[in-house]
Structure 1
């Protein structure tokens, strides 16, 4: 995949027929993301909220992912909108912002991720210019379309304000965090990302996105759940975190070896 294909990610995810599967990485190792980017994922998301990435390592990882031929996105820490613009400067194709609970939160997010007249993103995309090969003028004219700003819906307040959030110019789509949403909707009683109540909320979110002409994304704990969410109409899903995939793969090989030894 060349730079033009990578930078076509925003157009692909905005397509109503989009059904993409992404890797999700919290371990701060650019070599690890390079390995995952060799697989048939459509993108790689760097988790800076609960993962251990700092800004320099995340910026380096964006380059590793792009060199491997895939677009890179980042989930920033809560309210860290300054890092959002800097990661876009580094060549990220999109930013996922957690805990966007209102239109006001969404507007604050847009300010740092979109250039005027939509937002107030400051100029300084040196690495993005290198990656895209665009002139400064062409990047300025096209950056708002080439990158996506994705608001996370993961609280009761956010779910109630979903139409207001989607109505904010510059918000390209939403991302459902089902674990946090299940905690919120159960008033702290359980973590149940696959519960029927969460399915209902997710289907409602997809319908809202469709009404606004925007896209919906979500985290899934594994490939089977990811497939279910794609059937719901989500455009972009996570098929489990890299830590779960790493441990699952290790467990599978250990069990296979012990099964042979035991004669099972």
Structure 2
């Protein structure tokens, strides 16, 4: 397994990383996304999917990612240090932690990804699994610390209130804005365009830029993605296979019905 993280390299070089969700968790789809030229595959274990404790699942997906020359981007259900270590040991390098409340919680999550953290021993353990090429990786500890990337969702008012402290956590890779849950937290469920929601999102965007921490978000069309990139976003999720299938097949069915009706 190559000890390199192209996703982390892109965002640290102030480039944009584009990805899409794979709700089916299909290794074939991971390869297809890589062939399209996407930078990452979003795998959501917070709301869907099999158990994130299944190392064999992640090993299969990381092999597909290598074949497709694309990075996995895994949203875990919680900032559990043991779970973080286990997923990393299976070969995943990019993690997203949802529903963060505090800087202390973020620090513990990041600490679990590092052998050496902030000048002290971290909370990651030596393993002989896929991340270390089954014990044969060169300079395993240093290279893993240089390549693993953990980010957090800013989607709760508690996190917004500690935003500057969160952005100051050493080795935090990025923050990802969750407008849906923010709208719920702010008392405007589902109304992402409410002025208070928009103002909060803009505050997070500005804070990320000022702290030089990459910011991520979701775009539902190319125009929205373009606006977000111009606003400084460096991680964009463009869609997923369920949405793509519905759009493409619905269009084809409608076009066929029109052709048949016109005959």
Tell me if both proteins adopt one fold, taking TM over 0.5 as the criterion. Answer: yes
Shift of 1:70: 0.8
Q: 1:10: which partner in 2?
A: 8
SS of the residue 1:33 aligns to: helix
Shift of 1:75: 0.5
Q: 1:87: which partner in 2?
A: 87
SS of the residue 1:22 aligns to: strand
Q: Tell whether the 8 Å contact from 1:203 to 1:232 is kept in structure 2 after alignment.
A: no
Q: Tell whether the 8 Å contact from 1:21 to 1:43 is kept in structure 2 after alignment.
A: yes
SS of the residue 2:216 aligns to: strand
Once the two structures are superposed, residues 161-192 of structure 1 have per-residue CA deviations (whole angstroms, 9 ceiling, x without a partner) of 1111111112121111111112112x2x4213
CA distance in 2 between counterparts of 1:125 and 1:167 reads 32
Alignment CA distance shift 1:60-1:36 (3 Å): same
SS of the residue 2:176 aligns to: strand
Matched ranges for 1:183-202 at <5 A: 183-185=184-186, 187=187, 189-202=188-201
Q: 1:122: which partner in 2?
A: 125
Q: Tell whether the 8 Å contact from 1:9 to 1:93 is kept in structure 2 after alignment.
A: no
Q: Tell whether the 8 Å contact from 2:10 to 2:16 is kept in structure 1 after alignment.
A: no
CA distance in 2 between counterparts of 1:195 and 1:76 reads 28
Q: Tell whether the 8 Å contact from 1:178 to 1:194 is kept in structure 2 after alignment.
A: no
CA distance in 2 between counterparts of 1:25 and 1:196 reads 32
Alignment CA distance shift 1:30-1:53 (3 Å): farther
SS of the residue 2:32 aligns to: helix
Q: Tell whether the 8 Å contact from 1:178 to 1:219 is kept in structure 2 after alignment.
A: no
Q: Tell whether the 8 Å contact from 1:28 to 1:51 is kept in structure 2 after alignment.
A: no
Q: 1:69: which partner in 2?
A: 69
Alignment CA distance shift 1:21-1:163 (3 Å): same
Q: 2:172: which partner in 1?
A: 171
Q: 2:204: which partner in 1?
A: 205
SS of the residue 2:172 aligns to: coil
* 1:244 and 2:252 aligned: no
| Structure 1 counterpart of 2:17, from 8, 20, 38 | 20
Alignment CA distance shift 1:110-1:160 (3 Å): same
SS of the residue 1:9 aligns to: helix
Alignment CA distance shift 1:184-1:222 (3 Å): farther
Shift of 1:125: 5.5
Shift of 1:220: 2.8
Of 28-37 and 208-217, deviating more is 28-37
Give unmatched runs, 5+ long, in structure 2: none
Q: 2:39: which partner in 1?
A: 42
Q: When the two structures are superposed, what TM-score results if normalisation uses the length of structure 2?
A: 0.87
Alignment CA distance shift 1:167-1:153 (3 Å): same
CA distance in 2 between counterparts of 1:72 and 1:39 reads 15
CA distance in 2 between counterparts of 1:43 and 1:182 reads 27
